[in-house]
Amino acid sequence: MINPIVIKKFFDFIQTPQFAKYEKDFAKSLQICLSSNYSLREEQLVEKMCTEINKTPPISGRVRILTNSVFIHGGKSQVEFEYLGGAKTQRELGDLIYIFTLVYNGKKYIEKISITQFKKTNKYPKWNFGKKNNGKYPDLEQLYLLSRFPEFKGASGLFKGGTYTFLIILVVLAHMD
């Protein structure tokens, strides 16, 4: 169980100028990385983003915040799931995992991950919903995976061998005085 005092300290902390600077510096470094490397192939761009994120210095003190990432493009995040009609298919779960860690007085209290899927284009963002030669619709299947989060099995990479179900929980925290 998370200590309510730690939650209050966290909410107080994220309203400080120190945290605002951290957020702005983090966003600026990602924006610079994207704009200066956009000519690279998608997977190379994602690797650059991962490297940039992992250079982010943590906020230190009683409340410590760390932001890291893991490159999971391609075979590093292939999962198998049931698509419409029950047919099994295999797709990439994402390109990059962001890891946010909150440490208070040397003890880890929160660790949150976000799986990010990059789609690079030179004009307007688009998905290719056309059928491939193998009769599959890869982008439709991936969009289904990323919007519906069905139970899936790891086919290769980080998730291989396990069966996973995404549990989406909405937590409402009351402000504590």
Closest CA to 97 of 85, 115, 78: 115
Model confidence band, residue 168 (pLDDT cutoffs 50, 70, 90): very low
Q: Is the pLDDT of residue 52 over 60?
A: yes
List strands edge to edge, sheet with 107-116. 63-71, 96-104, 107-116
State how far the Cα of 32 lies from the Cα of 25, in Å rounded to an integer.
10
Tens of pLDDT, residue by residue over 117-148, are 887 777 766 667 776 766 666 678 888 888 88
- Strands (E) across 9-76 are located at 63-71
Three-state secondary structure string covering 132-157: CCCCCCHHHHHHHHHHHCCCEEEEEE
pTM, to two decimals: 0.74
State how far the Cα of 7 lies from the Cα of 5, in Å rounded to an integer.
5
Residue written as token pair 């983003």: 49
Least confident of 5-14, 46-55, 145-154, 166-175: 166-175
Beta carbons within 10 angstroms of residue 39's beta carbon: 8
Closest CA to 38 of 99, 139, 142, 119: 119
